[in-house]
């Protein structure tokens, strides 16, 4: 069995890197809920989640980066995130970059303009280019597209969210933004329970 995981830091587990004041480095990957669930199902964990990631990134991964191989997964567990997050392709850096209200505020509060994109994001978030209606529409587009791709590839899907303001019907709503080590175990049990009813 092979499980496809994607999402933001809740699925990535990166914020477990500091437990009881001890930095774990990459050891958090052994105690995150995706690993616990994979072990319980005797499955290969294929975790493509990214801390600070966006729904657009999730959609890019499933519809482009892993699309051709997607049919090889036995289950997809995807946790969508806040709709104000976004990614864009930086032609100079030749990579995708993430942005969100939270990251923009850090850029602004630090009084450092990280690069030439700062003025654009200032317009995007402060001058009305972005709105809650835009975020809501993009979230629904990602939601429906992810479900459609999974259905077309015959891959069972468990769809989660951490957005408390969503109007969509997810299979599971995250109870906490960054689950602790103990909460990771409970989360894996909750998702396992959903899996048994698929």
How many separate domains does the chain show?
A: 2
Residue-wise pLDDT tens digits, 31-56: 999 999 999 999 999 999 998 899 99
Q: What range defines the domain where residue 95 resides?
A: 86-129
- Which pTM was predicted? 0.91
96, 129, 162 - which closes a domain: 129
Nearest to 48 by CA among 12, 18, 96: 12
156 burial (CB, 10 Å; 0-12 / 13-18 / 19+) is middle
Which ranges of the chain would DSSP assign to H, the alpha helix?
9-12, 33-40, 55-60, 101-109, 118-126, 132-152, 181-196
80 lies in the same domain as 104 = no
106, 129, 152 - which closes a domain: 129
72 lies in the same domain as 155 = yes
Nearest to 7 by CA among 80, 72, 70, 74: 80
Residue-wise pLDDT tens digits, 84-101: 999 989 888 899 988 888
| Rounded Cα distance, 20 and 24, in Å | 10
């Amino acid at each position: 069995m092979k499980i496809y995981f994607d999402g933001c830091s809740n699925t990535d587990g990166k914020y477990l890197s500091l437990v009881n004041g001890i930095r774990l480095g990459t050891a958090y990957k052994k105690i995150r809920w995706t690993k616990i669930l994979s072990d319980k199902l005797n499955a290969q964990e294929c975790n493509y989640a990214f801390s600070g990631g966006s729904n657009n990134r999730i959609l890019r991964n499933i519809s482009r980066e892993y699309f051709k191989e997607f049919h090889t997964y036995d289950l997809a567990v995807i946790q969508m995130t806040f709709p104000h997050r976004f990614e864009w392709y930086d032609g100079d850096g030749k990579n995708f970059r993430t942005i969100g209200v939270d990251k923009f505020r850090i850029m602004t509060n630090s009084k450092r303009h990280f690069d030439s994109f700062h003025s654009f994001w200032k317009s995007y978030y402060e001058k009305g280019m972005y709105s809650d209606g835009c975020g809501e529409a993009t979230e629904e587009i990602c939601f429906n597209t992810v479900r459609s791709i999974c259905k077309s590839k015959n891959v069972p899907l468990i769809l989660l969210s951490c957005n408390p303001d969503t109007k969509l019907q997810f299979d599971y709503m995250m109870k906490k933004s960054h689950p602790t080590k103990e909460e990771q175990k409970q989360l894996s049990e909750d998702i396992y329970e959903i899996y048994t009813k698929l």
